[in-house]
Structure 1
């Protein structure tokens, strides 16, 4: 009799705990969710994150708001994300520089990728060469030949020195023998746009997605994308593989949260962003901005990120040893 009574009490307690657990899960989120973008407003990353987040917000009864925290080739915003409370109410967007450049260059002393839990990768985006629509350069080969004939005279706008785009132009020079005048515009793609529009530079190295509005209105055009896959939005822009240039490099957007964020919150966030990613609204929108939607969920994104970073660390170390770049 005593054993049976105890068993019933134990079962009742388990049911009560199960109900409480279900309530906790159902209650997330209870307040607004902050989404850190470690780049300035107006760039490609900012636009994509804002669009996707505005749709993901529909899965919740609270708001999701984007906050731009730029600086340090994304190190400032990434550092804030790593040090945020792991309560599910602060998440952030990471890019190539957040996962590769910052740790490789030891730009953030407290950096530790284990402080983060990656939620999903949502895009992949190759770098590209963009010129003014009236430029004399009709192909990437025209540009390379001009840079050989006039070393250091052709001005190329990149973003941050030491970042991915800087690596891309250094690799292009190393592969082709061209020599450009590299001009840095920290803070994302917006300052590069201004530089092209004001004729401060001849060329910008970024992504077609970053310059999509200027491409669409005919202000600029793409010469090449550093990939082996044709961009369905801009099929007239040749790939580096088609042009015989052995260089493939680009960025991506990954959502992440502080490492100790609860599994319930992580799953809810992953589901919200996956629903937004799959929506007709996002897929139709992203098709018009020249970015490739490319989903990896919680289970796949961390191994992919680790393999990508390890491979790129090796490539950059080799360039340092060859004297092409410094660390």
Structure 2
């Protein structure tokens, strides 16, 4: 429901494109591969990006969900399609962490891809199965330390912001809660709601509607201040974890080697589209902050983000799986 509100429909119902650009790029339809299932924040943000590319470049953008192998199947498909600019990747911060959290990844997510744009970022929310009696994070930590076998953390996929937030939570609280990977946000949250897993960090888009509906219990949001979308939800700092801030961010990539002028056209289309007041209003209403950066700025951001997260994994003695 919330994905439809954000995008005004799925890929097949994207706004009708104007006439094809005369000459040059693009001269035919564009394919955007999303390497995760429908229903999560990555899928929703990718479809919004596809809509804006379609509107600004004047061709149909077909979104294809190709999940599998923790994002590797879809990402590899984009590389294999070649660097002509007609096949692009819609993903999230997890993409750049692939080689840090998985063994034998057949590509370098930073060196083999060029970022076309970052689109938005959204804070993580810590949610819990409502079947558990605990109401606050200190109670959860105490219970998990007392009976660790009765607690598991679900994560949408290895290397996601939620996964990194979970590792950091275990580290700063001195907990050792088992982390179980899922094939996407929707099945992971479903298992938490059913009580098959007990805890999960995931962005606001997917978690807050379920907290409001009573399917999940919200324990904290990983922001510096409370969000007006859920003013009763404490920050992680208020819950006893000062400085605990984690965001998932979203973007669009192409194979490295796409001509610079095509990269620039994509970047301009996305930056312009995401600055539209109606888009900003919709995103902020869902807890997201739009991002407008040049390709060079995105490249620099990614370098810093990867370095920070690799260090976090090192401190936690995380071993790629």
TM-score past 0.5 threshold: yes
For residue 46 of structure 2, what is the aligned residue in structure 1? 49
For residue 118 of structure 1, what is the aligned residue in structure 2? 115
Q: Any idea what the Cα deviations from partners look like across 1:264-304, whole Å, max 9, x if unmatched?
A: 22222112212221123322222232223233221200011
Call closer, same or farther: CA 1:65–1:231 in 2, change over 3 Å: farther
- Larger CA deviation: 219-228 vs 293-302: 219-228
Counterpart CA distance in 2 for 1:68 and 1:227 is 30
Counterpart CA distance in 1 for 2:278 and 2:252 is 19
Q: 2:218 aligns with which of 217, 222, 234?
A: 222
Q: 1:141 aligns with which of 111, 129, 138?
A: 138
Secondary structure (helix, strand or coil) at the match of 2:316 reads: helix
1:34 aligns with 2:31: yes
Counterpart CA distance in 2 for 1:67 and 1:190 is 17
Counterpart CA distance in 1 for 2:228 and 2:80 is 39
For residue 188 of structure 2, what is the aligned residue in structure 1? 192
Using the TM superposition, give the Cα deviation of residue 209 of structure 1 relative to its aligned residue in structure 2, in angstroms: 1.8
Superposed counterparts of 1:145-294, under 5 Å = 145-161=142-158, 164-185=161-182, 187-245=183-241, 246-294=243-291
Tell me which stretches of 4 or more aligned residues in structure 1 moved more than 6 Å: none
TM-score by length of 2: 0.83
- Larger CA deviation: 38-47 vs 268-277: 268-277
Call closer, same or farther: CA 1:283–1:133 in 2, change over 3 Å: farther
Counterpart CA distance in 2 for 1:62 and 1:204 is 39
- Larger CA deviation: 276-285 vs 297-306: 276-285
For residue 317 of structure 1, what is the aligned residue in structure 2? 314
Using the TM superposition, give the Cα deviation of residue 163 of structure 1 relative to its aligned residue in structure 2, in angstroms: 5.2
Q: CA RMSD in A?
A: 2.6
Superposed counterparts of 1:11-90, under 5 Å = 27-90=24-87
TM-score by length of 1: 0.81
- Larger CA deviation: 264-273 vs 281-290: 281-290
Q: Do the aligned partners of 2:275 and 2:290 also contact (CA within 8 Å) in 1?
A: no
Q: Any idea what the Cα deviations from partners look like across 1:11-51, whole Å, max 9, x if unmatched?
A: xxxxxxxxxxxxx9853211111111111111111012112
- Larger CA deviation: 225-234 vs 281-290: 225-234
Higher Rg of the two aligned structures: 1
Q: Do the aligned partners of 1:54 and 1:64 also contact (CA within 8 Å) in 2?
A: yes
Equivalenced residues, count: 300
